[in-house]
Chains A and B, each alone.
Chain A
Amino acid sequence: MKNILKTIGLSFAAIIAFLLLWTVGSRALYNKAVETTIEKIRTTQSEEAAIETKKRIASGDPSSQPNSLPSPLFVWETAQLLAKDAAEVMRDKRAFKKKMAETNEKLKAQGKKPIIYTGRPSFLDQIITSLENILWGVVLAMCVSIPIGILTGLSKNFKIATNWFVQVFKPISPVVWFLLVQMIVNTIMTDPEGNNAFVITFISVGLCAMWATLVNTAVGVSSVDENYLNVAKVLRLGVGKKIVRVVLPAAVPLIFTGLRITVSVSWMVLIAVEWLSQSPGLGGFVREEFQNGSSSSNAKIMVAMFVIGIIGFLLDKLMATIQGMVSFENRQKASPIMIVRNLFVKKQAA
């Protein structure tokens, strides 16, 4: 209990310090930006125009504010605005669905496509899109890297044959993967209504992030404890049974260690790939706000930044929990789920 309080207290203090530094920094940057703007007007126009601008900025008119690092307070207000907007869009959508229910039923009966909502996506929609993208990316990474990793770990010849391939492709940047995937996908998918951006995004993310799982799976499979293999030998398990009953379970902890890295790399890469592929999602949101350049754009980008960070953190925690559950080496190490379960069990007992 004392430790929990200490953790909370110290984290809280660090957050306060961070916000203070941010406030002071953003104020300094803002002042510098105002000065530069006024100075520019003074040299290019006239002294009167400069004074006029100064007055306008001081009055707080949003359209005349210079763009610089937004303050924490402004970011917080923007976050609330985005939340409110998301709620509004959701209400809109629901209303639309209700209104269109009858029409769509008729269209369906006639064998025609139903009318779908085409309004702008809210911030929440962007988050969901990004999560969908990463889900498919990770699924693809798993489907490709785990089988290849198992083969690499089992067969020395396969490892020799593919080693150069892994070593060369592993360090390639997400941008290049994106370009490569785009070349292929855009050639194959020519349907103008096809969701090319989505396909390109999740394939690029998957290819970019799968290497950690591949390497970890290969290591896990090839370094199974001699004692476990002896059990397989003594029980005279065939090759297939040996792999399924002994080798794979023994490699599971390392496979999940790899998957955890894959998930965090996917999330990191996803934003950049979404930006490039014109896909909706958080990356797309950041791109739009960057190109928009309105007074609240920078604050919106900052909100997106924090949301990305927090979701990344939660994803990693989720993977760490799964990793702890499948690990048999240190069962004593408590995973969050175990802690919650223990609390529950204790309460029941009391």
Chain B
Amino acid sequence: MAFLELKNVSKSYGVGAEKAQILQDINLSVAEGEFICIIGFSGMGKTTLINLIEGLIFPDSGEVLLDGKKITGPGPDRSIVFQNYSLLPWLNVKGNVGMAVREVFPKWNRQKVDAHTKDYVGKVNLTPALEKKPAELSGGMRQRVSVARALSLAPKLMLLDEPLSALDALTRSNLQDEITRIWLEDKKTVVMITNSVDEGLILADRIIPLTLGPGATLGPEFKVNIPRPRDKQTLDQNEEYKRLRTEITKYMIAMNQEMKQKSNADKYKLPNLKPKSLKPLKVA
């Protein structure tokens, strides 16, 4: 049986004429230890999908099952890394991670919480910044704190909501390596949202595109059969990488064009008018 299962999940916002169908008939099944990337255009409901799995919102119809049990709210078995870090600015790195640890392991004493916190901050290579506040950190460092916080909760399932989208290319690449390293170490199940095909190919076991909304659903999956560790320098020459990259990109472009045609059809037809003359009037 699958570890995480979404069955015919639909979600809409608003009511009546304002009702916007975001997700429709989402079916997904993820095995334990798998790394899944969901890829899609912005504004199509990727974050809604992650929030459904986290239990921050609930589906209108269908169900989200984790280990065969229906999700009824956020829980310690899942942890989430938000796109915008969501660190509490009045706490330092240690405080931000430590607060989460204390909540999830309420029986631990202070030393144990401290040691655990330091351990996970170390995992994302931020030990020198333990006492720094988020405002004193760069975007990449903040995101690493957010990753450390999510990991420290020892979740069975990690949800990453475009964790690297706001970062520059170099930091992004570094963090991709770090995420791979940590994932290989802990072998947690990961569902990650991204907008980059390359990122998916570097990280994931499977890439699943989210089709265009309204009423977005999951498209055909692409299995990434590239052996790990995936070395970025030689990945360019990998035949499988090249094939998948072309295929997925083609699929995404086709989808994009489809949407453009759709939206063009909705437009009003303009009357065929031409201005009489653009020459300036002669002033006598």
CB closest residue in chain B, given A248: B90
B5 at the interface (CB under 8 A from A): no
B82 at the interface (CB under 8 A from A): yes
Of residues 74 through 111 on chain B, the ones whose CB sits less than 8 Å from some CB of chain A are 74-76, 79-80, 82, 84-86, 88-91, 99-100, 103-104
CB closest residue in chain B, given A245: B99
Contact among B74, B85, B100, B133 for A233, CB-based, below 8 A: B74
Contact among B76, B79, B100, B135 for A328, CB-based, below 8 A: B135
B interface secondary structure, majority = loop
A250 to B88, CA, bound (A): 8
B54 at the interface (CB under 8 A from A): yes
Of residues 124 through 182 on chain B, the ones whose CB sits less than 8 Å from some CB of chain A are 133, 135-136
Q: How far is the CB of A223 from chain B (nearest CB, A)?
A: 15
Q: Binary interface profile of B, 53-91, with partner A (CB < 8 Å = 1, else 0)?
A: 010100000000000000001111001101011101111
Q: How far is the CB of B194 from chain A (nearest CB, A)?
A: 20
A residues near B80, Cβ cutoff 8 Å: 234
Of residues 220 through 237 on chain A, the ones whose CB sits less than 8 Å from some CB of chain B are 227-228, 230-231, 233-237
Known A-B contacts A245-B99, A331-B133, A331-B135; the reply to A233 vs B56 at CB < 8 A is: yes
Q: How far is the CB of B93 from chain A (nearest CB, A)?
A: 14
Question: Are A235 and B100 touching (Cβ within 8 A)?
Answer: yes
Pick from A230, A235, A245, A328 the residue with the most CB of B within 10 Å: A235
Q: How far is the CB of A61 from chain B (nearest CB, A)?
A: 66
Question: Are A236 and B103 touching (Cβ within 8 A)?
Answer: yes
A252 at the interface (CB under 8 A from B): yes
How many residues does chain B have at the interface if contact means C-beta atoms less than 8 Å apart? 23
Known A-B contacts A230-B56, A230-B82, A328-B135; the reply to A236 vs B73 at CB < 8 A is: yes
Q: How far is the CB of B23 from chain A (nearest CB, A)?
A: 19
Question: Are B90 and A249 touching (Cβ within 8 A)?
Answer: yes
Of residues 193 through 233 on chain A, the ones whose CB sits less than 8 Å from some CB of chain B are 227-228, 230-231, 233
Q: How far is the CB of B2 from chain A (nearest CB, A)?
A: 23
A72 to B74, CA, bound (A): 70
Question: Are A227 and B86 touching (Cβ within 8 A)?
Answer: yes
A residues near B79, Cβ cutoff 8 Å: 234
CB closest residue in chain B, given A226: B86
CB closest residue in chain A, given B104: A235
Question: Are B133 and A235 touching (Cβ within 8 A)?
Answer: no
B residues near A230, Cβ cutoff 8 Å: 56, 82, 86
Question: Are A328 and B90 touching (Cβ within 8 A)?
Answer: yes
Question: Are A235 and B99 touching (Cβ within 8 A)?
Answer: yes
Q: How far is the CB of B99 from chain A (nearest CB, A)?
A: 7
Question: Are A228 and B88 touching (Cβ within 8 A)?
Answer: yes
A26 to B172, CA, bound (A): 71
Contact among A231, A234, A236, A241 for B88, CB-based, below 8 A: A231
CB closest residue in chain B, given A229: B86
Of residues 32 through 62 on chain B, the ones whose CB sits less than 8 Å from some CB of chain A are 54, 56
CB closest residue in chain A, given B135: A331
A residues near B99, Cβ cutoff 8 Å: 235, 245
Q: How far is the CB of A81 from chain B (nearest CB, A)?
A: 50
A residues near B85, Cβ cutoff 8 Å: 227
CB closest residue in chain A, given B146: A231
Contact among A234, A237, A331 for B56, CB-based, below 8 A: A234
B residues near A329, Cβ cutoff 8 Å: 89, 135
A41 at the interface (CB under 8 A from B): no
Q: Binary interface profile of A, 260-275, with partner B (CB < 8 Å = 1, else 0)?
A: 0000000000000000
Q: How far is the CB of B175 from chain A (nearest CB, A)?
A: 20
Q: How far is the CB of A227 from chain B (nearest CB, A)?
A: 4
A82 at the interface (CB under 8 A from B): no
A131 at the interface (CB under 8 A from B): no
Contact among B54, B75, B86, B90 for A252, CB-based, below 8 A: B90
B residues near A245, Cβ cutoff 8 Å: 99
CB closest residue in chain B, given A246: B88
Question: Are A237 and B90 touching (Cβ within 8 A)?
Answer: no
Pick from B89, B99, B104 the residue with the most CB of A within 10 Å: B89
A301 to B133, CA, bound (A): 49
CB closest residue in chain B, given A332: B135
A residues near B103, Cβ cutoff 8 Å: 235-237, 241
A residues near B88, Cβ cutoff 8 Å: 228, 231, 246, 249-250
B residues near A246, Cβ cutoff 8 Å: 88
Of residues 70 through 98 on chain A, the ones whose CB sits less than 8 Å from some CB of chain B are none
Question: Are A234 and B104 touching (Cβ within 8 A)?
Answer: no
Question: Are A227 and B54 touching (Cβ within 8 A)?
Answer: no
Question: Are B136 and A331 touching (Cβ within 8 A)?
Answer: yes
A residues near B136, Cβ cutoff 8 Å: 331
A230 to B74, CA, bound (A): 10
A-B contact pairs, 10 of them (CB 8 A): A227-B85, A230-B56, A230-B82, A235-B100, A235-B103, A236-B73, A236-B75, A236-B76, A246-B88, A331-B133
A-B interface, 6 closest residue pairs, ranked by CB to CB distance from nearest: A328-B89, A227-B86, A235-B103, A331-B135, A249-B90, A234-B74
A residues neighboring B (CB under 8 Å): 227-228, 230-231, 233-237, 241, 245-246, 249-250, 252, 328-329, 331
Give 4 new A-B contacts, CB below 8 A, not counting A227-B86, A235-B74. A234-B79, A235-B100, A241-B103, A329-B89
